[in-house]
Chain A
Amino acid sequence: MIRRQTLPDRSGHFGPFGGKFVPETVMAALTELEREYAAARRDPTFRRALRSLLRDYAGRPTPLYFAKRLSHRLGVNIYLKREDLLHTGAHKINNTLGQGLLAVRMGKQRLIAETGAGQHGVATATVAALFGLTCEVFMGEEDMQRQALNVVRMRLLGATVTPVTGGTKTLKDATSEAIRNWVTTVRTSHYCIGSVVGPHPYPMLVRDFQSVIGQEARRQILQKTGRLPDLLLACVGGGSNAIGLFHPFRHDRRVEMIGVEAGGSSLTPGHHAATLMKGRPGVLHGANSLLLQDRFGQVLPTESISAGLDYPGVGPEHAYYQLVKRARYVAVSDRRALQGAQLLARTEGILPALEPAHAIGYLAQAAWRLRRGAPIIVGLSGRGDKDVQTLARHLHAADPRHV
Chain B
Amino acid sequence: MQQIRATFDRLRHQRRKALIPFVMGGDPSLASTPSMLLALQDAGADLIEVGIPFSDPLADGPIIQAASARALAAGATPARVLAAVAAARPRLTVPVVALSYWNPVAQFEGQPGLEALRAFVRGARRSGLSGVIVPDLPVEESFAFRRIAGREQVAMILLAAPTSPAARLRMIARASSGFVYYVSVTGTTGIRRALPPHLVDGVRQLKLLTTQPVCVGFGISTPAQAAMIARVADGVIVGSAVIRAMAQGTTTSRKISNAAQCVARLRKAL
A interface vs B, CB < 8 Å?
A: 11, 19-29, 166-167, 172-173, 176, 179-180, 183-187, 280-286, 291, 293, 295-299
Is the pair B55, A23 in contact by a Cβ cutoff of 8 Å?
no
Contacts A172-B56, A187-B186 given; does A297 touch B164 at CB 8 Å: no
Give the complex CA separation of A184 and B60 in angstroms: 11
Q: Given that A21-B136, A166-B65, A296-B107 are known contacts, is A186 also in contact with B163, CB under 8 Å in the complex? A: yes
Q: Which residues of chain A have C-beta atoms less than 8 A from B160's C-beta?
A: 24
**Which secondary structure dominates chain A's binding surface?**
mixed
| Cβ-neighbour of A28 out of B65, B107, B163, B187 (below 8 A) | B163
Does B159 lie within 8 Å of A23, measured CB to CB? Answer: yes
Apart from A23-B183, A282-B103, what are 17 other A-B pairs with CB-CB below 8 Å? A11-B140, A21-B102, A21-B141, A23-B58, A23-B135, A23-B159, A24-B158, A24-B159, A24-B183, A27-B161, A27-B164, A167-B56, A172-B56, A282-B106, A295-B107, A297-B78, A299-B55
A283:B106 contact, CB within 8 angstroms: yes
Spell out B's residues near A (CB within 8 Å).
Answer: 54-56, 58-59, 61, 65, 72, 77-78, 101-108, 110, 112-113, 135-138, 140-141, 158-165, 168, 172, 183, 185-188
Q: In the bound complex, do residue B163 and residue A29 qualify as a contact, i.e. CB atoms below 8 Å apart? A: yes
For the complex of A and B, 10 pairs with smallest distance between CB atoms: A297-B107, A297-B104, A184-B187, A25-B161, A24-B161, A297-B103, A298-B55, A23-B59, A28-B163, A24-B159
A281 to chain B, nearest CB (A): 8
Expressed in whole angstroms, the minimum distance between the Cβ of B219 and any Cβ of chain A is 11
Minimum CB–CB distance from B67 to chain A (whole Å) comes to: 13
**Which residues of B lie under 8 Å from residue A295 when comparing CB positions?**
107, 110
**Can you list 30 A-B contacts (CB < 8 A)?**
A19-B140, A21-B138, A22-B138, A23-B183, A24-B159, A24-B164, A24-B172, A24-B183, A25-B161, A25-B187, A27-B138, A28-B164, A29-B163, A183-B188, A184-B185, A184-B186, A185-B186, A186-B163, A285-B56, A293-B107, A295-B107, A296-B104, A297-B103, A297-B104, A297-B105, A297-B106, A298-B54, A298-B104, A299-B55, A299-B103
Which residues of chain A are near B77, meaning CB under 8 Å?
296
Would A20 and B140 be within 8 Å (CB), given that A187-B186, A293-B103 are in contact? yes
A220 to chain B, nearest CB (A): 40
Which A-chain residue is minimally distant from B58 (CB atoms)? Answer: A179
Given contacts A28-B168, A29-B163, A282-B107, contact A20 B141 (CB under 8 A): yes
Closest-CB distance, A259 to chain B (whole angstroms)? 23
Q: Are A291 and B161 touching (Cβ within 8 A)?
A: no
Q: How far is the CA of A21 from the CA of B134 in the complex (A)?
A: 10
A24 to B158, CA, bound (A): 9
- Chain B residue numbers with a CB within 8 Å of A24 are 135, 138, 158-161, 163-164, 172, 183
| Contact present for A284 and B103 (CB under 8 Å) | yes
Q: Let me know if A285 and B140 touch, CB within 8 A.
A: no
B residues near A299, Cβ cutoff 8 Å: 55-56, 103
B103 and A283 contacting across the interface, CB-CB below 8 Å: yes
Shortest beta-carbon distance from A286 to chain B in Å: 8
Instruction: Tell which of A23, A166, A186 has the most Cβ of chain B within 10 Å.
Output: A23
